Amino acid sequence: MLERMTNADAPEPRPRRRAPAGAAVLREDVTEAIRTAVFEELAAVGYARMSIEGIARRAGVGKTAVYRRWRSKLHVVLDVVSALAVQGLPAPDTGSLETDLRLLYEVSSRALRHPVASQILPDLQAEAARNPEIAEAVQKALREGQDGVAKGIVTAAQQRGEIAAGVDHGLALDLISGPLYWRSVVIRSPKLPKGYLEGLSRATAAALKAL
């Protein structure tokens, strides 16, 4: 549980530069506490029932601390979801396409099956069908974060000669990302079958080499 913060947005001293008169100094620890609270609140009540009041209460700050950073519930969610796109992991580089895919799937599987992620993603997808702004942010977070790593795997495999140089990158990324996302998020399989990730890595590598 995050500790309750007092004077959350009080200006902090800056050694070599003074903030302009009247400018608010937003504490980064408070901002991160709010972002964490957004994820927890989304998982607990969903987007439709989420409120600025609930976010602030969970973060241990006042509502004004939230409104200083984002002007509405929609904007705080868009910011937090969009931030996921730049938190990608480095692409695996084991020297083998199949082994690179296996490492990617192991990390992705744990992330997608995390209790918070497994609750938030379906809810945001439902909201995305009704709200173009949320749809754009969700697509950015889901595709850019994953695709950045997958593209690195494809590029490395091309350089090693495992995949044809002229392969369609969009199709390759769909082959890599689609099956695990389908099983983990769409049909929400409670448990992956034994050997599933090994088989998926092997099948995906074979498909990519056949393109």
Please, what are the domains in the chain? Answer: 1-69 (1.10.10.60), 84-210 (1.10.357.10)
pLDDT at 146: 66
pLDDT at 3: 41
From CA 169, how far away is CA 158, in angstroms rounded? 11
pLDDT at 9: 52
Helix, strand and coil in the chain, % to nearest 5: 65, 0, 35
pLDDT at 98: 96
Q: What amino acid is encoded at 156 in this protein?
A: A
Q: How many CA atoms lie within 13 A of 106 on its CB side?
A: 10
pLDDT at 171: 92
| Predicted confidence pLDDT, tens digits, the chain (211 residues) | 334 444 445 444 444 444 444 445 789 999 999 999 998 898 888 888 899 999 999 999 999 999 999 988 888 887 877 666 555 556 788 999 999 999 999 888 887 777 666 677 777 778 888 888 888 877 776 666 667 788 889 999 999 999 999 899 889 989 998 898 888 878 888 788 999 999 999 999 999 999 9
Residue ranges with strand state E in 4-140: none
pLDDT at 19: 45
pLDDT at 56: 95
pLDDT at 30: 93
pLDDT at 90: 64
| Whether the Cβ atoms of residue 92 and residue 82 lie closer than 8 Å to each other | no
pLDDT at 84: 61
Give, in order, the Cα–Cα distances in Å from 56 to each of 33, 68, 120: 9, 12, 19
Model-wide pTM > 0.75: no
